[in-house]
Structure 1
């Protein structure tokens, strides 16, 4: 399996310091059923790192929370290549997905939300005619 479609531990935000930095940032938006929290930091080992949070007050059963985390990670894993291509070479983007819905979602809904959030995370492209 190529590295571009895998999701290794190094690609996840698991250090408390990174989590605190991410949640202290002011960058966030809602891409239902997720709140997407993001932060650009100076380049680390990888251009993109992620985390998924499914609050217990939203989904009471652990099996449901685990399923939503699996579906979210899978949708992220399959579409991350498009976002990585747009990240500047001196930057690492930290992204957190926080589930907002009170019920389970189907995979197409999750995938669509991840793709939409990636479109919003991409830096705006400069129009070459604006430089004149």
Structure 2
């Protein structure tokens, strides 16, 4: 049985081809300080795969980029059940990429609140899209 709040390797978005396809589709929205790119597919195996990033142009020090990515992953990990149940109800699977857009490192509370809004919006979008 998988851990409820874990983030195993199978849920991480690592494939360069999938990431390129995701950005080519240009489906996304922003909830400050997070920009979300997403794609949903008819149900299959896999559930949700997630990737996170922070700009090297904005954050020159790797320490800052790594901290932001850790905060984004943690905020997602603690709240991912909402998205998972939304996708299961819609009978879909998806890939999602979170981009940090602020110029400063925000606190965990700010990132967690923005992530909650993003996940709520994603589950709503998944339920409203027609299966293709």
* Residue in 1 that maps onto 2:38: 38
CA distance in 2, matches of 1:118, 1:16: 23
1:26 Cα offset (Å): 2.4
Query: RMSD of the alignment, in Å?
Result: 1.9
1:78 Cα offset (Å): 0.4
Divergent runs of 4+, >6 A: none
Output one character per residue of 1:7-46: Cα deviation in whole Å (capped at 9) or x when no partner.
0111011011111111111211111111100111233432
**1:96 and 2:102 matched:** no
In structure 2, do the counterparts of structure 1 residues 40 and 24 end up closer, same or farther at CA, with 3 Å as the change threshold?
Answer: same
Alignment TM-score, normalising by the size of structure 1? 0.87
* Residue in 1 that maps onto 2:69: 69
Q: Please give the residue correspondences for 1:1-132 in structure 2 after superposition, counting only pairs within 5 Å.
A: 3-88=3-88, 90-123=91-124
Larger Rg: 1
Alignment TM-score, normalising by the size of structure 2? 0.87
Structure with higher helix content: 2
**Structure 2: 5+ residue stretches without partners:** none
Aligned length: 126
In structure 2, do the counterparts of structure 1 residues 9 and 2 end up closer, same or farther at CA, with 3 Å as the change threshold?
Answer: closer
**Structure 1: 5+ residue stretches without partners:** 127-132
